[in-house]
Structure 1
Amino acid sequence: MSDLNKTIFSQRVSVLKDAMAQAELDALIISHDDEFLSYELNEDKERIKYISGFSGSAGYVVIARNFNPQLETRGIELSNNRGDETTVAERSCAVFVDGRYVVQVKDQIDSKLYQDFDFSKVSPSNWLCSILQKNATVGIDANCISYKEYKNIEKDLQALNINLVQTQGNLVDRIWDDRPEEIVSPIRIFNDEYNGSPSTQKRKKLAETLRDLDLDATVITDPESICWLLNIRGNDRKYLPVINSRVVAYSNEAVEWYINPEHFIDKESGEDIHEKLHEHIGHIDIFPENAFDDVLNRLCSSNCKVYVDPDSTNAHIMLSLINGGAKLIEGLGLCQKPKSIKNHIEVAGEYKAHIKDGIAMCRFLCWLDNLTRIETLENDESFIRRVEETTEADLAARAEMFRKVEAGYIEPSFATISALGPNAAMCHYNHENADKPRAMGHDSVYLIDSGAHYKDGTTDITRTVLVGPHLSNELRKMYTLVLKSHISLATLIFPKGTTGLQIDAIARRPLWDYGEDFAHGTGHGVGHVLSVHEGPQCISSKRSMIALEPGMVISNEPGFYKEGEFGIRLENLMVVMPCTQPGMKHMLCFTPLTLVPFDTRFIIRDLLSQKEIDWLNNYHQNVNNVITNAATSLSDDEIVWLTKATAAI
């Protein structure tokens, strides 16, 4: 971080502490998420980035105004991100991240201003309890944290007589003078030919579920569920095609939609889409978004039994209902599981989207191989001269260019991770947040994790490819082990009722056998032209207790990361399907959606079993067949590249 940026962040913290003093707060917790608990944020919601410089998709910043580092004698041990040693609270500001960001956070914050922690080892409440006196007051914006997390923090602080209070508005917003404008996009109708189930049918099933559970209503506050329920899309978030709004659905099939009226006007054409929307989804009651607190009061006073998902509903809404005396039943959002199980139209769309994406990525990788021409390399100097003006930003832009020409392309499904050499060791590295994107010519490894929304579906793929000479035995070994991990999950056959938690270790086993592991989940759910990180399905050692069911789309992305040197991740999307093998039709399996070759130049063949070799060769043959038949626009050079890249090992 430059000296100028260090000064800027120091000044911002100083101004924030003044605002805290006015609010009579001893400390302030700033959570990453916005009012809809989304991890995908526009610039006007990047509060942690504004106050600290850290740009990851999860975390907390904690600012202490009355800082007393002598209180560590309470016995609270704080293990920092620089090693396993025990340390005391050294500064009055701290950033808390998960395992994906322990490397990245060090590069993005001023270490003299902020201390950094892995919050699986040290939570914000642990840290505050180590530095605050009894009866201290800690503020938090309850709109930007889930009720579950809010109560966990409150419980930890109360154990040492420290008070947690809701702030009046968000204090970061109060000091953010040049805050960007909020994005309010026009509603896009998501036609039934792509969604496979009209909104009226979905709402009818939701009402039936409420009646079966003897409930009167459910409050839905995550925009993805609302867009799925109403078969609409939008552009309120970069990379996440949703409309920010809230819904209350009733057991009598009535629906109240709380939304900014500007969403119904196309600003470019001036068209009012109310009539088209009514034809698409039928009648629902529409209210301005600022009337949502009114319906909360009404639910509290009408003796209704209300279903709420405490993980997707912010603490402010939950506390309003609880303190108002509403009869709450908590559980997984009633749209979450139906949304995750894709119908046959959606699955067919995902196949179409991945063929388009496979064509684009194959063309990109062919272009990249032609740029590097490693196999015909004459000397290091000629190689560097050829590639040195190409940066991570250029590579990301080139990959997107190949996607843009495919029919039905909408936008990237997330910020492309385009990472050379040591930058690939940061799981969620973003070259846009770097002082300067790294240039080619100095690294053997390039990792690209990217995807797109098409009208047909959503894609997400990671490939690690060779882009320079001097391929080490260590790189080859670790790539092969990550590939073995990928194949172990891809080939799994499992009984109905199996959860992601139960199978996570299967993917990690090849790395565990060599004493290695990776600090992120093995797989996440993927939405249908919605969030590329969808729940409730996932494959993880921590939170994946939802059974995998046919129609669920999920990623398979083991990895290995050597800090300061390189990173390897290999990701395909898969769909859960009934197994078709003889005698196994009562079981489930995964069918790959992604159609892009793995870089076989890394592979140590002797480390693969015959079963793994067969899977890889069959996968590559399928990639070749599908892409060659579908891509009429492939050049002769691209066809030659694809044939070579998919050749049997």
Structure 2
Amino acid sequence: MPFQSFDEVSQPSLGPDRVKALRDKLGELGLDGFVVPRSDEHQNEYCPPSEERLSWLTGFAGSAGIAIILKDQASIFVDGRYTVQVREQVDTGLITPRHLIEEPPEKWLGEVLKPGQKLGYDPHLQSMSEVERLRTACEKAGASLVPVKENPIDTVWKDRPAPPLAPIVLHDVALAGEDSGSKIGRLQAKLREQKVDAVFTNDAHAAAWLFNIRGGDVSHTPLPLSYALVPAEGQPTLFADGRKLSNAVRDDLSHHMAIAEPRQIEAVLAETMKGKTVRLDPNMVVEHFAILVERAGGKIQKGGDPVALLRAVKNEAERAGTRAAHIRDGVAFVNFLAWFDRTVPGGQETEISAAEALERCRTETGVLKDLSFPSISAAGPNAAIPHYRVSHSSNLAISPGLYLIDSGAQYVDGTTDITRTIAVGTVTPLMKDRYTRVLKGHIAIATARFPKGAAGSQLDSFARAALWEIGTDFDHGTGHGVGSYLSVHEGPQRISKLGTTPLEPGMILSNEPGYYRAGEFGIRTENLVLVEEVEIEGAERTMYGFETVTLAPIDTRPIEVSLLTKSEIDWLNAYHARVYDAIAPLVDDAERAWLEQATARIG
């Protein structure tokens, strides 16, 4: 069974009736508006179908966004990744798209709310920091922010799917590199060091990593939806639906933790947290749990979830696992690229058939667990949409020019994410110029050297310099963190102007500068990199750099070689030599011959 669907996920024509039903319900509740985030109680990137309220109401199927429905107007706020997509999926006569960064919801609310009005929100879905921003905006306008006991969308969503109940499985300690008892001990030591009595998290990734468990409650990320309470002393508690636990798994986990139902969170907090200082990450913990901690007599200390940083620094087993996963994935990707070059010139292939071919190559590894996200298979103008998702209605034939494929896989030993832009027939001088400038930015990150303590924000401009030289840029970050058989988008580490977490050896990040010319073409070149300590002769500080772990050819046909420096050419030739040495022994003769040509030296 394929891991991705190309069915049309958006139905903007249903928006008017659904928004009317919501407005009628808000009238019954005495509310003048309602906030609809694209999130669940765990703040997941991928939500189970039962939690896709924003998509159901508006038609918008992106992974980030928020709508605000008032009596007489409505807006949906998305970032730069989705500005094109949102206009295609939403009835813009009913709901006005706005830029999440340039015109945030709080600013808009300050302009449209009237004194005395009541704006409803679901405290199970909004983080503490989001609620604080919304409340401030409402108060400035003389309005009030009102929590609801039951989400009004749920009352009008008549065919809402049931919550998921995928089995919870144990993640092999040989792959995790550390048993859960040791992880819990390290976390508790960190809590004591920070003088915190406990940490509570609704981040299912944190619980999955800490307790060495995995599941299948959401698409593309092996998550069991769960919560964790970890005291600085004593036994932690995993809150998960007991129907997901076999007797064997329950017995194994019980050696290190108590297990309770999610509905027992309030009771457990009341029993254990009175007078205790509880760490809550205001950007992750939803307001509902902050209310429960205070109701239990606990004192909230706002701060980053300490599990996130522990999880971000991969141990030796996880590093070895990601290297192995990338060699395996590299074989699959080379098989795909060879297929592409043989087949696409025939003129019969499309965005969907190419995505299916790549998934087929990964499936042939025999150990593919899932895709790490739906493949972005984009030809021509569709490639100018950074987070484009092909459907049967948008599917384009792959024609001369540039084709972009951004994809990834989930294997039990590692998570992959790779983007390649491929020349099809003749490419224009403009395409070659932009392609080469993106490559220059990619190489600048790959070869970066930076001192211990440096954060991603200090590296982000390296990837943009060649584009800035000619007065252009790209609107997404240069790189995101990546998990170990967990989320393909993992924090807190990232390479962007917002990346403030210092980079440490063992962190995995993407390196993916791009260029997008609306209505014409798009370019992105992405590898995953692993932070490592590097030796520099005469260095006066501890210095770090990156090991590139993705192993697949970068198309040299669209390169304008005259724009590359000698050191950039040397890097590309050395990278291709690594790719050939690692992958050639593992592919068939025809693919090996193709690979030899694809990795031939340039310059």
Q: TM-score, normalised by structure 2?
A: 0.95
**Which residue identity does 1:104 align to in structure 2?**
Q
Cα distance in 1 between the residues matched to 2:50 and 2:288: 20
Asked if residue 61 in structure 1 is aligned to residue 21 in structure 2, the reply is no
**What SS does structure 2 have at the residue aligned with 1:290?**
helix
Aligned equivalent of 1:285, options 252, 255, 258: 258
Distance 1:183 1:456 in 2: 25
Partner of 2:423: 466
1:28 matched to 2:34? The reply is: yes
Distance 1:324 1:280 in 2: 26
Aligned residues of 2:41 and 2:202 also touching (Cα < 8 A): no
Question: Structure 1 285/324 Cα, relative in aligned 2: closer, same or farther at 3 Å?
Answer: closer
Q: Distance in 1 between matches of 2:184 and 2:64?
A: 32
Matched, 1:437 2:401: no
C-alpha displacement of 1:5: 4.5
1:295 corresponds to which of 257, 268, 282: 268
Moved more, 505-514 or 597-606: 505-514
1:337 to 299, 309, 324: 309
Report the alpha carbon displacement of residue 298 of structure 1 after superposing the two structures with TM.
3.3
Partner of 2:292: 320
2: distance between equivalents of 1:438 and 1:43?
Answer: 27
- Quick check: 1:9 aligned with 2:15? yes
Q: Determine if the alignment matches structure 1 residue 570 to structure 2 residue 525.
A: yes
1:646 is matched with which residue? 599
Question: Which residue of the partner structure matches residue 637 of structure 1?
Answer: 590
Once the two structures are superposed, the pairs formed by residues 112-511 of structure 1 within 5 Å of their partners are 112-264=93-245, 273-279=246-252, 282-299=255-272, 302-322=274-294, 325-373=297-345, 386-388=346-348, 390-432=349-391, 435-441=393-399, 443-467=400-424, 469-511=425-467
Compute the displacement of 1:628 (Å): 1.3
Q: Any conservation in 2 of the 1:199–1:281 contact (CA below 8 Å)?
A: no
Evaluate the alpha carbon distance shift between residue 648 and residue 117 of structure 1 in structure 2; reply closer, same or farther with a 3 A threshold: same
Matched, 1:626 2:582: yes
Q: SS of the counterpart of 1:600?
A: coil
- Alpha-carbon separation, structure 1, partners of 2:554 and 2:577: 12
Provide closer, same or farther for how the CA distance between residues 176 and 482 of structure 1 changes in structure 2, counting only shifts above 3 A: same
Instruction: Please say if residues 166 and 215 of structure 2, whose CA atoms lie closer than 8 Å, have aligned partners that are also in contact.
Output: yes
The answer for the alignment partner of 1:19 in structure 2 is 25
Tell me, yes or no, if structure 1 residue 105 matches structure 2 residue 86: yes
The one-character-per-residue Cα deviations of 1:151-173 (angstroms, maximum 9, x if unpaired) are: 01111121111111112222222
Closer/same/farther in 2, CA of residues 256 and 571 from structure 1, 3 Å limit: same
Distance 1:224 1:280 in 2: 17
- Residue 185 of structure 2 aligns with an amino acid whose one-letter code is K
| Pair 1:607-2:563 in alignment | yes
Cα distance in 1 between the residues matched to 2:561 and 2:398:
28
Which segment drifts farther, 235-244 or 308-317?
Answer: 308-317
Paired residues of 1:477 and 1:603 also in contact (CA < 8 A) = yes
Contact 2:169 2:249 in 1 (8 A): no
Deviation, structure 1 residue 62: 1.2
Counterpart for residue 493 of structure 2: 537
Structure 1 residue runs of 4 or more that deviate by more than 4 Å after TM superposition: none
Q: Give, in whole Å, the separation in 2 of the partners of 1:418 and 1:628.
A: 25
- 1:588 matched to 2:544: yes
Whether the 8 Å CA contact 1:231–1:281 is kept in 2: the answer is no
Alpha-carbon distance, 1:198 to partner: 0.6
* Residue aligned with 2:181, SS: helix
CA positional deviation for 1:242: 1.0
Shift in CA distance, 577/5, structure 1 to aligned 2, threshold 3 Å: closer
The 3-state SS of whatever aligns with 1:99 is: coil
CA distance in 2, matches of 1:413, 1:278: 30
Offset at residue 280 of structure 1 (A): 6.0
**Structure 1 residues 493-543: Cα deviation after superposition (integer angstroms, max 9, x where no partner):** 11100001111111111111111111111000000000100001001112x
CA contact (8 A) 2:35 2:66 kept: yes
Structure 2 vs 1, CA of residues 394 and 479 (structure 1 numbering), >3 Å: closer, same or farther?
same
Write the distance in 2 (CA, Å) between the matches of 1:5 and 1:409.
Answer: 31
Structure 1 residue 211, shift from structure 2 partner:
2.1
Shift of 1:100: 0.9
- Which string of whole-angstrom CA distances, capped at 9 and with x for unpartnered residues, describes residues 204-223 of structure 1? 11222222223221112101
Q: Is the 8 A contact 1:94 1:117 kept in 2?
A: yes
Matches of 2:394 and 2:301, distance apart in 1: 50
> Which amino acid in the other structure matches residue 227 of structure 1?
A
Per the TM alignment, residue 102 of structure 1 is displaced from its structure 2 partner at its CA by 0.9
Q: 1:282 to 1:95 in 2, by over 3 A?
A: same
Deviation of 1:127 (Å): 2.0
Q: Does the 8 A contact of 2:12 with 2:58 survive in 1? A: no
Contact 2:181 2:256 in 1 (8 A): no
How many Å apart are 1:403 and its aligned residue? 0.7
Q: Does structure 1 conserve the Cα–Cα contact (< 8 Å) formed by 2:113 and 2:138?
A: no
Judge which range, 197-206 or 208-217, deviates more: 208-217
Question: For the residues of structure 1 that align with 2:184 and 2:254, how far apart are their CA atoms?
Answer: 10
d(CA) in 2 for partners of 1:231, 1:583: 42
Cα distance in 2, alignment partners of residues 423 and 182 from structure 1: 34
**1-structure distance, mates of 2:13, 2:283:** 37
Once residues 279 and 110 of structure 1 are traced to their aligned partners in structure 2, the CA distance between those partners, rounded to angstroms, is 50
SS at structure 2 position matched to 1:574: strand
Deviation at 1:278, TM superposition (A): 3.1
Aligned to 1:554: 509
Q: Deviations over 1:287-330 (max 9, x none)?
A: 11111122233355x21111111111111112332465421112
Structure 1 distance, partners of 2:321, 2:405, is 24
Aligned residues: 593
Residue 637 of structure 1 deviates from its aligned partner by 1.5
Aligned counterparts of 2:266 and 2:244: Cα–Cα separation in 1:
20
SS at match of 1:372: helix
Cα-to-partner distance string for 1:22-65 (whole Å, 9 max, x where unaligned): 11111111011111111212222221111111111111111111
Alignment partner of 1:366: what SS? helix
- Residues 198, 281 of structure 1: 8 Å contact kept: no
Secondary structure (helix, strand or coil) at the match of 1:554 reads strand
Q: Report how far residue 407 of structure 1 moved.
A: 4.5
- Cα 1:161–1:323 change in 2 (3 A) is farther
